[in-house]
A and B are shown apart, each in its own frame.
Chain A
Amino acid sequence: MKNPYLPMPMRIDHITVETSDGNIKTFTLSFIRDKDRQAFRFIPGQFAEVGALLLRPWRPKGSPSR
């Protein structure tokens, strides 16, 4: 039985500081499990919950295939 509440674990590959005050950053993430990477699809504007353990949510940006 599929459980849509279960998260897909990811790794933070890279953090880019975007502004001089350091308040805006881009996080580049990759799936740890290959099956999650293959299953994940989104279209522009869609909202997904991305959480560091005990922190949430962020909006993903950028192609999932990259």
Chain B
Amino acid sequence: VIINKNDVAAFLDGLRAEYRVFAPAVTDGVGGYRILAAGGDLAWGGVNTSRPPKEILFPQSEKLYSYRLGADGVEIQPHYDVERNIIFGIRPCDAKSFKHLDNVFLGQEYRDVYYQKRRENTLLIGMACLEPAGTCFCTWLGGGPFATDGLDLLWVDLGDRYLVQVLTPQGKALIEGRPFFLPATEADRRAASAAEARAKDRMRPAPDLSQVKPWLAASFNASFWEHVCEKCIGCAVCSYLCPTCHCFDLSDEAAGSQALAGARVRTWDTCAFPLFTLQASGYNPRPTGKERFRQRIMHKFCYFAENWGEAACVGCGRCIINCPVNLDIREVLAQIAAQAAGAGMSQ
């Protein structure tokens, strides 16, 4: 089906009656996903947002529960977010990142109920990337500018209208019974196919990354790590803005001056910081940038791939765009592929 651009605001307004609708927006000069207000401006189109949508499912900081020492002992009050969400305009790479986060938070014996409640209540309306940025490399990691993995609907911009691809029963239910959707023509479908071909043509060709994981698995002590991290200043913008990075810390915050009341708070943390692994004894198993950078690469492209079958990277390019010293993860991957080839590990 298709929807005319003039009808999109009314369609979203209708959704707002039933859902909390997140959409791309620019706040204080930074692009991210914000709750859409009535008649709110959308900042879709162009390149992807600086902040990934992972904070909708896994906020940068959240209260897990409050506690208070009462007359009957400790009272614990968990805080769950059970609102129904729609993320409108999410890019295929970010939708794929949720599948990686699902593995971490839901894929094992203990499920993260905070993430689970948000995830189960969130639908994804994707926006195909007509003009991937020069830093985009989703096709290296099995994705693509029109990929549908994880989405409920995929919209393709055709100028004055969007072609809407229905991908799940939940996505179908979102548009059913709403008056804005019209049958697509063969010309619409041909235009979308042409746009997809143009978008794919813009992507930088992928090098052979098949030997990255085996090389990493055998190269924990390689001299490669001494040099590859030299310009990293450990600012951690790469992991904070990464849609798949998911490490966090837990801390207790007192409620005002009440010593025996407070909240357990979860906050994003990152392997790029020395304090991440500093132990109470003073020992730090990752004392320098070398060990910390190695951990970042190893976790994404070796350990995660070993555990879940895919690297924890979707090629969104945020770490490349925002790195203050231009440390390009594509170059690191290419160097690793070259190391593997030099070690006789090429296919």
Contacts and interface: CB of A to CB of B under 8 A. Distances in A.
Nearest to B116: A1
Contacts of B114: 5
Contact of A53 (B69, B110, B113, B116): B69
Contacts of B113: 1-5
B107 to A, nearest CB: 14
Interface in B112-129: 112-114, 116-117
A54 interface: yes
Contacts of B112: 4-5
B73 A32 contact: yes
14 contacts: A1-B111, A2-B111, A4-B111, A4-B113, A5-B64, A5-B78, A5-B112, A5-B250, A7-B74, A32-B73, A53-B67, A53-B74, A53-B260, A53-B262
B252 interface: yes
B11 interface: no
Nearest to A7: B76
B268 to A, nearest CB: 16
A6 interface: yes
B65 interface: yes
A3 B78 contact: yes
A1 B113 CA distance: 7
Given A5-B65, A9-B73, A51 B78 contact: no
Nearest to B261: A53
A4 B117 CA distance: 14
A4 B64 CA distance: 11
B333 interface: no
B259 interface: yes
Contact of B78 (A6, A9, A56): A6
Nearest to A33: B73
Interface string A1-41: 11111110100000000000000000000001000000000
Chain B interface size, under 10 / 10 to 19 / 20 to 34 / 35 or more: 20 to 34
Interface of A: 1-7, 9, 32, 51, 53-56
A6 B76 contact: yes
B265 to A, nearest CB: 11
Interface in B62-82: 64-65, 67, 69, 73-74, 76, 78
Nearest to B68: A53
A7 B260 CA distance: 15
B254 interface: yes
A54 B66 CA distance: 12
Contacts of A54: 252, 254, 259, 262
Interface in B240-279: 250, 252, 254, 259-260, 262, 264
A33 B174 CA distance: 45
B252 A53 contact: yes
Contacts of B65: 5-6
A15 B111 CA distance: 35
A7 B64 CA distance: 11
Contacts of B69: 53
Given A1-B117, A3-B113, A5-B264, 16 more contacts: A1-B111, A2-B111, A4-B113, A5-B65, A5-B112, A5-B114, A5-B250, A6-B76, A6-B78, A9-B76, A51-B252, A53-B74, A53-B252, A53-B259, A54-B262, A55-B252
Contacts of B117: 1
A2 B114 CA distance: 11
Contacts of A9: 73-74, 76
Nearest to B260: A53
